[in-house]
Amino acid sequence: MRQEISPSKLELYLFHEGTLFESYKTFGAHPVTLNGVDGVKFTVWAPNARKVSVVGNFNNWNGSHHTMDRINSTGIWVLFIPGLQEGELYKYEILTQWNSVVLKADPYAFFSELRPNTASIVHRFGNYEWKDQKWMSLRAKSNPYHKPLLIYEVHLGSWKLKENGELYSYRDLAAELIPHVLENGFTHIEVMPVMEHPFDGSWGYQITGFYSLTSRFGTPEDFMYFVDQCHQNGIGVLLDWVPAHFCKDIHGLGRFDGSSLYEHADPRRGERPIWGTYSFDFEKPEVVSFLISNALFWMEYYHIDGFRVDAVSSMILLNHDNPLPERLTNQYGGEENEAAISFLKKLNETVFMKYPGALMVAEEATEWPLVTGPTDAGGLGFNYKWNMGWVNDILKYMKLDPHERVHHPNLLTFSFFYAFAENFVLPFSHDDVVHGKLSLLDKMPGDYWQKFANLRLLYGYFMAHPGKKLLFMGSELGPFAEWKDKEQLDWHLLDYPSHRKLNHYVKSLNRFYQDTSSLWRLDHEQDGFGWINHSHKENVLVFTRKGKRKGDYCIVVCNFSTNVYNNFRIGIPSPGSFIEVFNSDGDSYGGSGQLNDGAIMAEKLPYHNQRYSMEITVPPLGIAIFMKQTKKRRGRDNHNGK
C-alpha cells in the first residue's frame, strides 16, 4: 500500500531540487480510490519529526490510531486512510526530536475551519464548471503593456457589510462588487490576501494556510464563482501574495516539525521582529517548491490573473525592515539575499512560461535596478513594479499649501527622470490611508471646496502621469476619515452633494482614461511622454501623452495653484484646431466652471520650444486636457463636466 501512495522517484527528486512546481498535487490530503477502496491519501514533509500521525474527528484526535509511514531518508511521510471523505477535519500530530507533541494544520490544505478554529478540511477540486473560456483565451494572447490597467484594490472584509454586521460572502460580493467596479470604470480587482489567516486585523498578510482559501467568506467554489463572474464581465483578478514571511501561530508553518523547517535556522534571518513573523528560508529547495507551486496553484484552480507580490524589498535585502544590532551580509560581504533573488527569478520565469498573459507586480520600495527587467539580463523578471517613490513625492507635494508648492517643484517633476526605468504601477493603496496617515481627501490643504478640487486634480494628474494605475477602495467616495478595517466603507457619503459629485468625477475620469489610448498605449516608453512647460513659475505643468499612431496625442495642463489663468498661452507641437476633452473644474464635478468651450485654433507663434501655440483658460486647482478636433471628437460630450 505504501508503494501505491508514495510520491514517485521523479516527484521526490524535483521536490528536493526545488522544481516540483505542482507539489500541491503530491502533498496534502487527496481523496482517492485505491484497490477499489475510497479514502484519503495524506502526504507531508517533516524531515526532523520522530513520528507523524493524522488526527481528526474520525479518531477522536488520538495520534495512536493513524501513524504515517516515513519514506526512507526523504523526510516525507504518507498514509492512506480508507473510508474518509471530503469535508473531514484533520491535523498532523507531530512528535519532535525533543519528545514534544505539536498539532499542525496541513501546509498544503485546500480549505480550513472558520477562525478561531484551526483544523484543515479535506477538499476535492473539480466540482466547479468554469465559463470564462473567452477571457482565459484572450489573456494568453494579451500584451498588458499597451492596454489600460486601472486596478481597484479591495479588502473584502470591509468593502460592504450586511445590515446585521455580518461579512458578505464571495457570492454576495460577485453580485454587488462587480457592478460597482464596472460602473466606476476599473479594469481589474486586486484582492488583499484571501489565504487563510487567524487574525482579521492582519488583513490577510500573516498567513497560516497558503493553499487554503479563507473560509470567512465562503467555500473555494464560491470564490471560483466570484472570479468567473469577474472574467465574464471583463474584469481581471489579482491577489496580494505574501512569500516573504508567515505568522507564528502554533498551528501554522513555524517550527513545523519542531525545527526551523520553513523558516531560516539563524534567528537573525529567520525572524522579522518588526512584524512578529518568521521569514521563509529560500535556501531550502523544498521551500522554493512549496512557494512557486503556490503561485501556480492559485492560477490553475482559481484562474487568478496575477499577483501583487508583497514586501519584495525585505526579501532581496537582508537588512531591510530588519532592525538588528548588527549588519547581516551574504558570502560576498553584500546585503543581498542571494537565495531570495534566485527564488524570485525562478518564480517569474515559471509563471510566465505557463501563463504568458499573467501580471506579476512587485511591491519594491528601494532603488534596486531592473525589478521589471528580464532575468537573462540580470533582472528580477516581474512585469510591473509599484512606484512608491512617486506616491511619496506627490502626496508630500499635494499636502503643501498651494503658495508653498512653487518652492518644491522637484516633488512634482522628479518622477519623470525615472518614469521609464521600470514598468511602473502608480499605487494609491491601503498603505496610504491607514494608521494615522489620513484619507486622501483629508491630506489635501485648503477650505472645503479646495480640498475636493485638490483631490480632483490629484486624481487627474495620477491618470495623466505615465504608468498603470491602482486605487484603494473607497477613494472613489472621497471619505474624510481614513480606512477602518472593522467597518464598511462610508457609503452614506453619496447622500452628500460634494461626495456624489466627486464620485461622478471619478467615474468620468476612469472612463476617459480607458477611452483615451494616448494615456496608456506607450506607458513604459519615453516616446509616450513629452514636456511642454515644466518651469513651474505659475504652478502650472504642461506636457503631452502620446499613443502609437501619428497624431494620437493629448495635451495635459495641470494647475496646482488656486489662481484662474485666462488667455494663458501654451506651446503645442502641431497645427490644427484643438478642443478641451476633459476638465476637472466642471460644475457637475463640484468645480467652478472654468472651461474651454468650442474649438481653439493653433497659432503659428512659437512658444515653450514648440512651433505653435494657443491661448486657453486654466482652471484653479484643476486639470484640463486637449486633443485635436475631429468629426468624432467634439469636446466633453462623453465626459461631461458641465
* Residue located via cell numbers 537573525: 268
* Residue located via cell numbers 475636493: 452
Mean pLDDT of 239-255: 97
Q: Residue 411 pLDDT > 80, yes or no?
A: yes
The sign of the CA dihedral 41, 46, 52, 54 is negative
Mean pLDDT of 407-424: 96
Please report which confidence band the pLDDT of residue 201 belongs to, taking 50, 70 and 90 as the band edges: very high
State the cell numbers at 237: 483578478
Q: What gap in Å lies between CA 149 and CA 640, rounded to an integer?
A: 23
Query: What is the third-level CATH fold of 526-628?
Result: Immunoglobulin-like (2.60.40)
Candidate ranges 315-324, 493-502, 622-631; pick with highest mean pLDDT: 493-502
Name every residue whose Cβ is closer than 8 Å to that of residue 538 and which is 6 or more positions away in sequence.
559, 561, 563, 565
Q: How many CB atoms lie within 10 A of CB 299?
A: 18
Q: Is the peptide bond before 116 cis (omega within 30 degrees of 0)?
A: yes
Mind listing the pLDDT tens digit for each residue in 146-192? 999 999 999 999 999 999 999 999 999 999 999 999 999 999 999 99
Average pLDDT of the chain, as a whole number: 96
Domain ranges of the chain: 2-121, 149-516, 526-628
Residues 190 and 308: beta-carbon distance below 8 Å: yes
Q: What gap in Å lies between CA 67 and CA 50, rounded to an integer?
A: 11
pLDDT of residue 324: 80
Mind listing the pLDDT tens digit for each residue in 105-127? 999 999 999 999 999 999 999 99
Do 2-121 and 526-628 agree at the fold level? yes
Q: What gap in Å lies between CA 248 and CA 17, rounded to an integer?
A: 27
Is residue 489 left, alpha or beta, with left meaning phi > 0 and alpha meaning psi from -120 to 50?
beta
Mind listing the pLDDT tens digit for each residue in 544-595? 999 999 889 999 999 999 999 999 999 999 999 999 999 999 999 999 999 9
Q: Residue 638 pLDDT > 60, yes or no?
A: no
Please report which confidence band the pLDDT of residue 639 belongs to, taking 50, 70 and 90 as the band edges: low
Please report which confidence band the pLDDT of residue 637 belongs to, taking 50, 70 and 90 as the band edges: low
How far CA 621 is from CA of 118, 192, 558, 585, in Å, comes to: 52, 33, 8, 8
Please report which confidence band the pLDDT of residue 2 belongs to, taking 50, 70 and 90 as the band edges: low
Query: What is the third-level CATH fold of 149-516?
Result: TIM Barrel (3.20.20)
Active-site annotation, residues: 310, 363
* Residue located via cell numbers 487627474: 460
Mind listing the pLDDT tens digit for each residue in 78-106? 999 999 999 999 999 999 999 999 999 99
**Kind of pairing between the strands at 188-191 and 236-241:** parallel
| Closest to 517 in 3D by CA, of 553, 483, 544, 550 | 553
The answer to whether domain 2-121 has CATH 2.60.40.1180 is no
Q: What gap in Å lies between CA 339 and CA 330, rounded to an integer?
A: 10
Q: What gap in Å lies between CA 230 and CA 182, rounded to an integer?
A: 10
Q: What gap in Å lies between CA 177 and CA 267, rounded to an integer?
A: 43
Mind listing the pLDDT tens digit for each residue in 386-405? 999 999 999 999 999 999 99
Mind listing the pLDDT tens digit for each residue in 494-537? 999 999 999 999 999 999 999 999 999 999 999 999 999 987 77
Mind listing the pLDDT tens digit for each residue in 471-483? 999 999 999 999 9
pLDDT of residue 518: 98
Mean pLDDT of 199-226: 98
Residues 145 and 466: beta-carbon distance below 8 Å: no
Q: Residue 61 pLDDT > 90, yes or no?
A: yes
Q: Output the 3-class SS for 504-540.
A: HHHHHHHHHHHHCHHHCCCCCCHHHEEEEECCCCCCE
3-state secondary structure (DSSP) of residue 33: strand
pLDDT of residue 640: 52
